[in-house]
Structures are given as C-alpha cells and as structure tokens.
Amino acid sequence: MTGPGDGALERTLAWQRQHAAKRLPLAAYWAPGRVNLIGDHIDYLGGRVLPMTLDRGTAVLVLPGRNAALRVQALDQQAAASFPQAGRDRQGDWQDYVNGLLRFGGPPPRPRPLELLVSGDLAGGGLSSSASFTLALALALQDAGWLRPASGNDLARLAQRVEVEAVGTACGLMDQLAIVHGSARGAVAIDCGTLATAEVAIAWQDRELWAVHSGSSRRLADGGYNLRRQQLDRACAARGLPTDAIPALDPAGLSAENGDEVWDRRLRHVISEQQRVLAGEQALLQADWQAFGKLMTASHRSLRDDFEVSTPELDRLVAAALSTPGCDGARLTGAGFGGWAIVLLQRTARQRVLTAIAAALNREPPALQAFQIRPGAALRRLQGVG
Ligand code: GLA
C-alpha cells in the first residue's frame, strides 16, 4: 500500500497491535517525501522547479483517543505528547509542528479525542521529511475535525506557515506543493509564482536515479538557509528589483556588473538555475538523459560555488559519481548543507558508481545509505485501513 521498501505504515500498525489492540484504527494517511530533480533555492523567489515525490514518506494511523485531548506518538523518536499545549514556546523538536498546525489551522469546530501514530522513512536531510510529516498530520487532523477544512493548496500554505512561523525556517512552497500535487508517473513542474503545476511523465529507459546520503545531516532552522534568503533580499533591494523578478532576469545583464561579490554570486545562481530547470524539463520530456545529467551537474556546481550550500562530503560524493563511467549527472537535492544527493546512472553501471561513492566517503558499500528513487503518489488517505 505504501510502496516498495517502505515500512512506515507497517510500523504504525505493529505499534497498534502491540499497545492498543482493542482500539481499531479509524483511518490512515500518507504523505510522500520528495527529491528535487533540479531547481534549488529559487522557489521562494517565484521560480519554476522540478521536484518528484517518492514512494517513501510519512504514515499516520488514527486511533480513537482515550480522553478529550489529542495524543501524538512519534514512533521514530520514541516520544509522545498531548496537545494542545497552551503557551509552549518553540523548542526545535517535532512538537513545534503539531503546535503550529493547531495554532494556524484551528480553531477546531468539534474535535474528537484522537491518538495519532506517526512514522516515516525520510531521515537525513533533503527528502522533505518535515513537510511530509506536517502534511500527513494536517490531513489526518483536518478529516477528524481538529483543523478547519482547506483545499490542497491551502493545506500546502498552512504547512509552509508552520515551517516559517512555528519552526523558524523561512522556506518556500516547493516541498508542500510537490507533496500535494505529486505523481507516481514522474516529476511535477511547479511555477512557484502562479502555483500552476504540471505532471512531467518520465520514461526511464535504461536509467536509474539513486539517492545517496553524504554522511552528514543538517537542520534548516540552523541559520544558513535564512541567511541566503536575507542576502538575496538585500541584493534585490540594492538593485531596485522585486525579489520575484530574479529568476526571469537575463543572465547576460547580470554578468556585466558581476564581480566576485557574494550577492552577485547568489543572484547568478538563481538566474542560471532557472535556465537549467527550463532546459531540464525539455530534456526530461524527450528522455534525453545525457542532457539532463549535465544540467544536474551544472546545478550542483552552481549551488557549490555561487550559492555555497554544499559540503565537502556532498562534493566528494558527486565527484566520485561523475568520475565513474556510466554516471550521467549528480547533485545535492533540496536546501543543501549536508544530507542526500541524487545520482543519475545507467543500470549497468549501478554497482560501479555506488562502490566509487562508498570509497570516496570512506564507507564499505554495505554501510552506504542509498536507495533507488521511484516516484510515488501525492498526499492521500489510504484505502483499506479504518
Ligand atoms: C528546502 C525548502 C524549499 C526550497 C529548498 C531549496 O527544501 O523547504 O522551500 O527552498 O529547500 O530548493
């Protein structure tokens, strides 16, 4: 039901059988994670991006509650808490997300007592675990009357507001929109200015896309992400430009004034990344994998040199992949600062490429965290449970 290799729903069901066998599940919900194929750090400027939802994500199993409160069991953290928690300040943990949902998505019409069991398969940074967690909970809470009814895009906006105001990361809307509009047939092109979305079906042919972990994790609220946004705001203000005009600027115009100054490099990344997304969408539609791979690699270099959100581990991983015959392209995915990278390769080269990456990260191949990326469907209530 939740896709190959995914144990998240099974873990919630196992907990229910072991600890709450007499309380039968009322419903179950699923929110996928995502990788971003290309187009990073341009969504919050109204750019066009190309994420793909995964067959991995977050499962929420809904049980009848035992008292008038909402209880959430975060099984992967081996932690539980009751809500609402009046007056609890931000603490940098998963409870901030639940409090944010209740604060911005309420007041509840007539909530019934509930216990939610939550588990996911997206740890490590870059697969959008937090948007997946927030949206799976949001849909479950909405159906149970704990949140006001909202359309898909409004639910995405609610989850973004939670991230910005309750958690403290000034993120864009790419992850939330991808999770709401994703497709099991391929990627979804999102115009973050108009919020228009379009499915981009993928013909894999002899290609595979792999997610490989760099070995270092990160938290976005730590500061680097918000700092990049402030730098772009200042760069725009200094030039008298509205921030959402940047992705559409002519790169030639920028290079005329370009020194090696930080703001110019940030702008150069945004403008060039937007061009790569447009070219990448065409390459995907034509299944031109060599062209797509080159764009991925150019995107990584721009994120590394101009936007400075890569890490030595991510760079080593990407370099090792690219120096192995049969790899078309590789890049960090999502915000950067550590976490997962994506690697495009020919099926026959899989072993060779993964072995080279493991060696570059000083890991025995079995210890390498890696999985083949398969597209998965969007946020939904799971049939057959409850
Ligand atoms: C994080 C944010 C997104 C986006 C990416 C970078 O995933 O949540 O809004 O900015 O980083 O592309």
Residue 339 near ligand 1, beta carbon < 6 Å: no
pLDDT at position 5: 44
Say which residues have a Cβ less than 8 Å from residue 107's Cβ, sequence separation at least 6: 148
Residue 175 near ligand 1, beta carbon < 6 Å: yes
Tell me: pLDDT of 200 over 60. Answer: yes
Query: Which is the catalytic residue, given 55, 76, 96, 175?
Result: 175
Residue 273 near ligand 1, beta carbon < 6 Å: no
Share of the chain above pLDDT 90, in %: 79
Give yes or no for a contact between 118 and 62, defined as CB atoms under 8 angstroms apart. no
pLDDT at position 222: 64
Residue 171 near ligand 1, beta carbon < 6 Å: yes
Q: How far apart are CA 363 and CA 347, in angstroms?
A: 22
Share of the chain above pLDDT 70, in %: 95
* Whether the predicted model's global pTM rises above the 0.85 cut: yes
Give yes or no for a contact between 70 and 84, defined as CB atoms under 8 angstroms apart. yes
Q: What is the pLDDT of residues 224-270, one digit of tens each?
A: 999 999 999 888 888 888 888 888 887 776 654 555 588 889 999 99
Q: What is the pLDDT of residues 345-381, one digit of tens each?
A: 999 999 999 999 999 998 877 789 999 999 999 999 9
Q: What is the pLDDT of residues 97-137, one digit of tens each?
A: 999 999 999 877 778 899 999 999 998 889 999 999 999 99
Cα first-last separation, the chain: 14
Residue 176 CA to ligand 1 center (angstroms) comes to: 10
Q: Which atom of ligand 1 is nearest to the CA of 131?
A: 8
Q: Which atom of ligand 1 is nearest to the CA of 49?
A: 12
Q: Which residue has the higher pLDDT, 23 or 257?
A: 23
Helix residue ranges per DSSP H, 20-144: 95-105, 129-143
Backbone CA torsion sign across 34, 40, 46, 48: negative
Residue 264 annotated as catalytic:
no
Residue 306 near ligand 1, beta carbon < 6 Å: no
pLDDT at position 2: 33
